[in-house]
Amino acid sequence: MEVVGALTWIALGAWLVLASWWWWGMRRMPYLSASRGAPGDAAAGPPPGGWPAVSMVVAARDEAATIAAALRTWLAQDYAALEIVVVDDRSRDGTLAVVEEVLAAQRASDPEAAHAASGGPSARCLRVDELPEGWLGKVHAQARGAELGRGAWLLFVDADVRLAPSAVRTAVAAALRADADHLALLPRFDAPRGWAGHLVLAFEAAFALLLTVLLRPWRAPDPRTPTTLGIGAFGLYRRSAYDRSGGHEAVRMRPDDDLALAASVKRSGGSSLVAFGPALASVTWYPTLAEAMRGLEKNAFAGLRYSVPLVVLVGLGLLATHVLPFAVALVGFGAARAAGVAVVLVVTLVYAWYGRRSDTPAWYALLHPVSVTALVWAMVRSTFATLASGRIEWRGTSYALADLRAARDRDEARRQPRSRAEAREAGSTGQSRNRPRT
């Protein structure tokens, strides 16, 4: 019991330090609300030179059940300079037919189909039937969509993401105001109905909290650090910065492609911004907790650099600091129990603050140990499944672990740390450079 008590007190100290540091950073991140074009709205009027053209690229594989609802929200954007490029990546469930049906219905409701005149976005589709060697399927589909798009900005969204009508306009306005080359938007995660839905959403909230502690997204605007955060649900990129980084070609074998692309853009000299945007973008994650855990199999081991010692270290650390204190708070005694209760209170405060920004209930703090246990199990499951087969399975396609490791090693080799003088110079030039505003 003495060891358990000591670990609980250590966990409390870690929570107090990390929670204070996390809150201090996260409160600096902007919160983007749905813009209605009202007088005085920061995003109401166009910037000098007009709104830049944006190509929204959507890679879809077997998304027939969800893409129609999402596509209707994309077509409802109040951004005239928007083109939507849907890339059907070898779907077998009729995804392309669903997309074409929605587009046909839209054309029927607007017989003239005069999108330019009506101020609505345009849309087109591309079918990919073969995956070239040396590419992950989704990454290749996004690369093809980026090639097809004509916009000065590229917006990558997942096929099930629903957008508020002003989402694109608000995001572009925020990126232009910040002179950012990349804007990542933290969406709202909607849960399926019932108790199972609460488990899924609590799992997502715990995962997001841990990810923000690890990646420190509030430091994304700082040119002196490579820190940033890429989000598959909504990632806006200035095309010139995307091309300069090598685009998806540079991350073609990265299961964590959203994180890798954002890092690649910033590493090549681009500036980055991460913002809360639950009122602008939403997505329903997985219908059950078991499916959410299976969904992490493709990238949990990859996110830990394919390192078994790192998996063990992170797993034990999470259990000791995020699960053990809750157990001690329930069944412990004396000072150890007091420390456990204090950890529960700190976690509750963290969830309460984060919930106001992400639209998730604060009481999910009570499910935090369950969520973290499930996350650790997903990490272990991903590690064993990958090592046992020597491959990663992703959306019906299998990829060799040796190839994925080699790709990460090549990417790591390109990351050359800069001196402080170079970082200061990059920061000063990044703040003063005169980019075209469209």
The answer to whether residues 350 and 306 belong to one domain is yes
The tokens 């963290």 sit on which residue?
350
337 within a domain of the structure (yes/no): yes
> pLDDT below 50 — which residues of the chain?
37-40, 113-118, 417-424, 426-438
8 A C-beta contact, residue 123 and residue 86: yes
423 within a domain of the structure (yes/no): no
CA distance 336 to 333: 6
pLDDT number for residue 187: 94
pLDDT number for residue 296: 80
- Across 265-286, b (16+ Cβ under 10 Å) vs e yields bbbbebbbbbbbbbbbbbbbbb
The answer to whether residues 176 and 311 belong to one domain is no
157 within a domain of the structure (yes/no): yes
200 within a domain of the structure (yes/no): no
**For residue 116, what are the domain limits?**
54-195+215-285
Tokens describing residue 48: 């000098």
> Could you report the per-residue pLDDT of 86-113, keeping only the tens digit for each?
999 999 999 999 999 999 988 887 655 4
Q: Structurally, how many domains does the chain consist of?
A: 2
Q: Which of 285, 308, 333 is the last residue of a domain?
A: 285
419 within a domain of the structure (yes/no): no
Tokens describing residue 124: 């087109």
The answer to whether residues 256 and 401 belong to one domain is no
8 A C-beta contact, residue 223 and residue 316: no
The answer to whether residues 240 and 319 belong to one domain is no
| Amino acid occupying residue 296 | L
- Minimal CA–CA distance to 77: which of 192, 247, 234? 234
The answer to whether residues 121 and 159 belong to one domain is yes
209 within a domain of the structure (yes/no): no
312 within a domain of the structure (yes/no): yes
The answer to whether residues 16 and 147 belong to one domain is no
The CATH number that applies at residue 97 is 3.90.550.10
8 A C-beta contact, residue 234 and residue 185: yes
Of the CA atoms within 13 Å of residue 275, those in its CB half-sphere come to: 26
The pTM for the full model equals 0.88
pLDDT number for residue 32: 95
pLDDT number for residue 338: 96
The answer to whether residues 224 and 256 belong to one domain is yes
Of the CA atoms within 13 Å of residue 183, those in its CB half-sphere come to: 28
The pair phi, psi for residue 48, each rounded to 5°, is -55, 130
Q: Which of 266, 285, 304 is the last residue of a domain?
A: 285
pLDDT number for residue 416: 54
The answer to whether residues 280 and 302 belong to one domain is no
pLDDT number for residue 365: 95
pLDDT number for residue 300: 84
Residues 6+ apart with CB under 8 A from 410: none
The answer to whether residues 272 and 222 belong to one domain is yes
Q: Angle, to 10 degrees, between the axis of helix 368-389 and the axis of helix 324-331? A: 140
Q: Which of 263, 285, 307 is the last residue of a domain?
A: 285
The answer to whether residues 71 and 129 belong to one domain is yes
CA-to-CA dists, residue 261 to 143, 264, 309, 387, angstroms: 11, 5, 26, 25
pLDDT number for residue 111: 58
pLDDT number for residue 37: 47
CA-to-CA dists, residue 281 to 46, 149, 180, 205, 228, angstroms: 21, 22, 20, 16, 20
251 within a domain of the structure (yes/no): yes
Please state the three-class secondary structure of the chain as a single string: CHHHHHHHHHHHHHHHHHHHHHHHHHCCCCECCCCCCCCCCCCCCCCCCCCCCEEEEEEECCCCCCHHHHHHHHHCCCCCCEEEEEEEECCCCCHHHHHHHHHHHHHHHCCCCCHHHHCCCEEEEEEECCCCCCCCHHHHHHHHHHHHCCCCEEEEEECCCEECCCHHHHHHHHHHHCCCCEEEEECEEECCCCHHHHHHHHHHHHHHHHHHHHHCHHHCCCCCCCCCCCCCCCEEEEHHHHHHHCHHHHHCCCCCHHHHHHHHHHHCCCCEEEEECCCCEEEECCCCHHHHHHHCCCCHHHHCCCCHHHHHHHHHHHHHHHHHHHHHHHHCCHHHHHHHHHHHHHHHHHHHHHHHHHCCCHHHHHHHHHHHHHHHHHHHHHHHHHHHHCEEEECCEEEEHHHHHHHHHHHHHHCCCCCHHHHHHHHHHHHHCCCCCC
8 A C-beta contact, residue 254 and residue 408: yes
The answer to whether residues 173 and 268 belong to one domain is yes
The answer to whether residues 232 and 329 belong to one domain is no
